[in-house]
A = this chain, B = another copy of it.
């Protein structure tokens, strides 16, 4: 049955920097929400103030819900909130749908979908891109894996939170697509860092070089959006290095699962290790340039 504001009950697990604004958009769209978060935070209170009913466990969030959304950090967290002691699996109704919007392992996603399936529970994997700004503005891209009918039924839920919503294939396909996304993101970041560093090491005006090359075949979202931040020395996080690293570990594990060699993204992962070693784990991914700056003894930012 298609989800419908006013009648569909949603359980929402994980009110983090992404989950909290997403939950608020669902409330604003008219869905009833039972929310769970393991810790107290001001943003949890904001969701309650907006009409969310707080419950004490993921199991309680799933009780009587038609749709249960999980958006937590990593694979073990998803396993815990769905399959763990107080997990969703112990109360979820037959015919309900669990939508995991975390970024986790495609393989584990398929395993969880199979376990839920045996209980007559549907699952969609629906990781997002667009960052906290996308979550706040309900402009997230949502990459979905699962059955067409289940996807269609959940579309009103997705549409309350995002814009570019695509069913790619069966369970796990959303997570694999997110992995592909993170490959393209991180290696394009590497492309930018190396281009800027040759300019800097050659004593060119790096800003002029960025302006000259951004509009053509060298152009990318990374160059246009993160290049200017590097020039200003602005390393505040849009997306944090340590979360990028978590995702790249998933990418390399997914590649390993199908025995695919991906030397470019592997290199990006190693260079982010240098950045973390230099203390940049909580900075934005544009801090990748710092690995090159450290090697070159020269800064890319405008003086």
Q: What are the residues of chain B within 8 A of A141 when measuring CB–CB?
A: 212-213, 215-216
Chain B CB within 8 A of A236 CB: no
In whole angstroms, how far apart are the Cα atoms of A1 and B291 in the complex? 46
Contacting residue for A179 out of B198, B205, B239, CB 8 A: B198
Q: What are the residues of chain B within 8 A of A191 when measuring CB–CB?
A: 183-188, 190-191, 264
Q: What are the residues of chain B within 8 A of A267 when measuring CB–CB?
A: 263-264, 267
Q: How far is the CB of A196 from chain B (nearest CB, A)?
A: 7
| Interface locus among A68-76, A150-158, A165-173 | A165-173
Chain B CB within 8 A of A176 CB: yes
Contacting residue for A169 out of B183, B205, B295, CB 8 A: B205
**Beta-carbon nearest neighbor of A168 in chain B:** B208
A183:B208 contact, CB within 8 angstroms: no
Q: How far is the CB of A299 from chain B (nearest CB, A)?
A: 13
Contacting residue for A166 out of B194, B202, B212, B221, CB 8 A: B212
Q: How far is the CB of A84 from chain B (nearest CB, A)?
A: 28
Chain B CB within 8 A of A124 CB: no
Q: What are the residues of chain B within 8 A of A129 when measuring CB–CB?
A: 213, 216-218
The contact size tier of chain A is 35 or more
What are 26 A-B pairs with beta-carbon distances under 8 A? A130-B216, A166-B212, A169-B205, A176-B199, A176-B202, A176-B204, A177-B199, A177-B209, A180-B199, A180-B204, A180-B213, A183-B195, A187-B187, A187-B194, A187-B264, A188-B188, A190-B191, A190-B264, A191-B264, A194-B265, A197-B262, A198-B251, A220-B221, A263-B267, A264-B267, A267-B267
Given A176-B198, A177-B199, do A216 and B209 touch, yes or no (CB 8 Å)? no
B183:A194 contact, CB within 8 angstroms: yes
Chain B CB within 8 A of A60 CB: no
Given A195-B181, A202-B176, A262-B197, do A216 and B220 touch, yes or no (CB 8 Å)? no
